[in-house]
């Protein structure tokens, strides 16, 4: 998907504005984050992604690449645990919010504006909570998400656009023995696993959330 497609205007309802946007603050893993209409509101589901990474890396300091950082919530929490974090996003406005959150939580993060992968650099961990809602389904079940940035929601016709790009390219930024972590929609787990297998990832594991839904995929590439 091109950035111009993701930036297409969306009709936003005037009511049902999320409380986090009204207050300007959202809590994620018991940590405060500034939020506004330029970033996705951190979800409880995503805490599973962070918890898995912190568990797996508890005995070592890692270089981390956080793709589609948005508010910076994932990047900030990993940096708070002494990891060396680079975070990317295509949105200048989102990066402004992420930088404020890094300052709020007193961590140093290398923020880069780009479409997924930066120029150069190798990492022990790559993590991403990409847009994964099917274009036709955005706002279908919850109109309040129409107040959130379309660019952070739209995963393309089948919801898999970003997973295809990440599966194809992430290996070029992973150190030997490095790990890729992705948040997923449980409906997509089999398709994403297949994409990763087709791109020579191995040790593919699917982790469920507290509701028993497939929520995180982690895998490695030599």
Distance CA 100, CA 119 (A): 24
At 14, the pLDDT band (50, 70, 90 cuts) reads low
Residue 57, phi-psi category: left (phi > 0), alpha (psi -120 to 50), beta (remainder): alpha
Identify the pLDDT of residue 176: 94
Check: pTM over 0.85? Answer yes or no. yes
What are the tens digits of pLDDT across the range 31-56? 999 999 999 999 999 999 999 999 99
For residue 74, the model assigns a pLDDT of 98
| Partner residues linked to 26 by β-bridges | 33
DSSP 27-84: EETTEEEE--TTSPPPPTTHHHHHHHHHHHTTTS--EEEEES-TT-HHHHHHHHTT-E
- Which domains are present in the chain? 15-220 (3.40.50.150)
Average pLDDT, the chain: 92
**Residue 207: Cβ-neighbour burial (10 angstroms; 0-12, 13-18, 19+):** middle
Measured in Å, how far apart are the chain's first and last C-alpha atoms? 28
Are the C-beta atoms of residues 9 and 144 closer than 8 Å to each other? Answer: no
């Amino acid at each position: 998907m091109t950035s111009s497609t993701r930036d297409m205007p969306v009709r936003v309802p005037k009511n049902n504005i999320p409380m986090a946007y009204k207050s300007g603050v959202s809590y994620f893993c018991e940590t405060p984050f500034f939020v506004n209409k330029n970033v996705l509101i951190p979800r409880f589901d995503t805490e599973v992604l962070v918890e898995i990474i912190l568990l797996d890396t508890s005995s070592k300091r890692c270089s981390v690449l956080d793709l589609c950082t948005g508010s910076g919530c994932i990047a900030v929490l990993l940096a708070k645990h002494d990891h060396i974090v680079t975070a990317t996003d295509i949105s200048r406005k989102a990066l402004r919010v992420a930088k404020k959150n890094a300052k709020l939580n007193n961590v140093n993060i290398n923020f880069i504006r780009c479409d997924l992968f930066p120029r150069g650099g190798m990492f022990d961990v790559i993590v991403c909570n990409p847009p994964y809602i099917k274009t036709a389904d955005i706002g279908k079940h919850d109109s309040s998400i129409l107040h959130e940035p379309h660019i952070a929601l739209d995963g393309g016709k089948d919801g898999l656009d970003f997973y295809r790009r990440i599966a194809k390219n992430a290996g070029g930024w992973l150190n030997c023995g490095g790990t890729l972590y992705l948040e997923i929609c449980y409906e997509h787990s089999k398709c994403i696993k297949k994409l990763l297998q087709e791109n020579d990832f191995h040790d593919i594991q699917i982790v469920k959330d507290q509701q028993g839904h497939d929520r995180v995929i982690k895998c490695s590439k030599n």
